[in-house]
């Protein structure tokens, strides 16, 4: 994240003597990305290092690993995540649906907050979490961020989190990456500011509000996800939210999808104009995240607003449909539907979508969907995804197809 933020109190000069409490030397920590070379945060702990465990680490009684669906024939998928039950807290409700070497996609549909003395740390992936339903607070050592439907929460690998609900239930779409997730770099100028033609404005992000340091002894469990979904329970003897202050460019932040200020053109606007975030070194690895939201459809007198059939042979595509207004899939998708189109198969609008879309020429659309396009990374479905798959999806184009004109007789 290009925006450098400072919260609480810490010494002006890094790694110098500092006392947040009288006669108690504060202890400094660097939370870094790309080793010591990427975005980082400098954190001042009031009196304890975050390494002080008071019980041996042990395996948690659950895992968040992907269970592969097996060697299925090549096919597109439509997953009805609306049918997945709501249960438990944010962590235990997580279900991996698609996974690759550095990317995975999950949903979580919790009915309660995490326990007060328990925390979650994704030790192997950065996360972008889209809030489909529910309200609450994402707490971390960096402070508290409120969330509501339609928002993204962008979370650094290794942050120590507590998901608290202020609604009876919630529904999250979770994208994980081995690489940092941030605004598309080509939207930022050499000074880190969003350019005046970008669809995002970097200062519109929501920032964590640091609360007074929890300078407390006790037993605090940190559930750490590592090594492809294994979970280890660490037990700290002090509260993990013990910062007097922090500063830097690596921290959780929120971004409202309605703040993706769409860029349109006279003829069909291809997805790169809808890109919000990026992970990895595009276009060589990682992925882009696009926000499909309200925008003026092409106003050329003969524009076809429905997209092309497309065959992007270097990208696996996943779309999460927040509502059902997306024209090319109308009649197929439900709220919360996920489609998966692997690189090696072309895909297109369904049925009469291209003809139908002409009615929206020059008008403002009202769809909301999140799309991930990987770069040179194949994804695969899990057994869980398969359990909620629409088995008729691979043949749905033929079923919905429109015969046009007069065919030659056979």
Site size for Fe ion (CB under 5 A): 1
44-47 own/partner pairs: CB under 8 Å, 24+ apart: 44/8, 44/9, 44/10, 44/11, 44/18, 44/20, 44/243, 44/244, 44/245, 44/246, 45/242, 45/243, 45/244, 46/20, 46/21, 46/213, 46/215, 46/242, 46/243, 46/244, 47/21, 47/215, 47/242
SS3 127: strand
State the burial class of residue 16 (Cβ atoms within 10 Å of its Cβ: 0-12, 13-18, 19+).
exposed
Strands (E), 71-142: 77-80, 95-99, 103-108, 118-122, 126-133, 136-140
Smaller CB separation from Fe ion, 242 or 317: 317
Which candidate, 406, 325, 405, 332, places its Cα nearest to that of 365?
325
Closest approach of Cβ 328 to Fe ion, in Å?
Answer: 8
State the minimum distance, in angstroms, from the CB of residue 80 to Fe ion: 19
Rounded to a whole number of angstroms, the minimum distance from the CB of residue 258 to Fe ion is 23
Phi, psi of 8 (to 5 degrees): 70, -150
Q: Which is nearer to Fe ion, 303 or 317 (CB)?
A: 317
By beta-carbon proximity to Fe ion, the closer residue of 241 and 340 is: 340
Q: How far is the CB of 319 from Fe ion (least distance, A)?
A: 7
Considering the complex, state which of residue 244 and residue 318 has its C-beta at the smaller distance from Fe ion: 318
Mark 290-329 with x for binding to Fe ion (rule: CB under 5 A) and - for no binding.
Answer: ---------------------------x------------
Q: How far is the CB of 341 from Fe ion (least distance, A)?
A: 6
Tell the smallest beta-carbon distance from residue 286 to Fe ion (Å).
18
Report angle CA 280, 207, 30 to the nearest 5 degrees: 60
Q: In this chain, which residue has its C-beta nearest to Fe ion?
A: 317
C-beta closer to Fe ion: residue 87 or 348 = 348
Owner of token pair 């072309």: 346
- The answer to whether 366 and 325 are in contact (CB under 8 A) is yes
Beta bridge partners of 177: 103, 126
Report the distance separating Cα 160 and Cα 152, nearest Å. Answer: 18
Q: Is 289:275 a contact under the CB 8 Å cutoff? A: yes
Contact flags string 237-276 toward Fe ion, x per CB under 5 A: ----------------------------------------
Pick 107 or 319: Cβ nearer Fe ion: 319
Between 155 and 369, whose beta carbon lies closer to Fe ion?
A: 369
Shortest distance in whole angstroms from residue 348 CB to Fe ion: 8
* Beta carbon of residue 369, minimum distance to Fe ion (angstroms, whole number): 10
**Of 11 and 76, which has the nearer Cβ to Fe ion?**
76
Residues that bind Fe ion (CB under 5 A): 317
């Amino acid at each position: 994240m290009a925006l450098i933020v400072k919260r609480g109190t810490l010494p002006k000069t890094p790694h110098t003597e500092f006392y947040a409490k009288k006669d108690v030397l504060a202890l400094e920590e660097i939370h870094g990305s790309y080793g010591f070379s990427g975005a980082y945060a400098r954190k001042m702990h009031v009196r304890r290092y975050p390494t002080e465990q008071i019980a041996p680490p042990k395996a948690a009684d659950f895992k968040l690993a992907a269970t592969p669906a097996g060697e299925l024939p090549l096919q597109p998928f439509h997953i009805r995540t609306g049918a997945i039950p709501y249960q438990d807290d944010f962590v235990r409700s997580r279900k991996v649906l698609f996974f690759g070497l550095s990317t995975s996609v999950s949903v979580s549909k919790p009915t309660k907050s995490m326990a007060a003395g328990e925390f979650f740390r994704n030790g192997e992936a950065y996360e972008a979490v889209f809030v489909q339903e529910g309200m609450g607070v994402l707490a971390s050592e960096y402070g508290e961020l409120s969330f509501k439907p339609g928002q993204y929460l962008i979370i650094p690998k290794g942050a120590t989190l507590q998901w608290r609900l202020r609604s009876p239930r919630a529904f999250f779409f979770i994208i994980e990456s081995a690489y940092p997730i941030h605004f598309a770099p080509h939207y930022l100028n050499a000074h880190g500011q969003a350019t005046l033609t970008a669809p995002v404005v970097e200062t519109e992000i929501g920032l964590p509000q640091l609360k007074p340091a929890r300078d407390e002894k006790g037993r605090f469990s940190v559930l750490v996800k590592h090594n492809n979904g294994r979970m280890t329970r660490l037990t700290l003897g002090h509260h993990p939210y013990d910062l007097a202050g922090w500063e830097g460019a690596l921290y959780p932040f929120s971004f409202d999808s309605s703040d993706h200020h769409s860029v349109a053109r006279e003829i069909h606007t291809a997805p790169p104009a809808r890109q919000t975030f990026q992970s990895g070194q595009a276009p060589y690895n990682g992925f882009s995240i696009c926000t499909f939201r309200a925008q003026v459809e092409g106003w050329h007198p003969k524009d076809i607003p429905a997209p092309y059939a497309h065959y992007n042979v270097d990208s696996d595509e996943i779309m999460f449909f927040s509502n059902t207004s997306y024209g090319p899939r109308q009649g197929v998708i439900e709220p919360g539907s996920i489609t998966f189109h692997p690189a090696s198969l072309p895909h297109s609008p369904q049925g009469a979508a291209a003809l139908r879309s002409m009615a929206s020429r020059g008008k403002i659309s009202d769809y909301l969907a999140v799309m991930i396009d990987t770069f040179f990374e194949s994804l695969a479905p899990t057994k869980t995804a398969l359990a909620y798959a629409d088995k008729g999806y691979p043949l749905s184009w033929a079923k919905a197809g429109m015969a046009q004109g007069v065919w030659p007789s056979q």
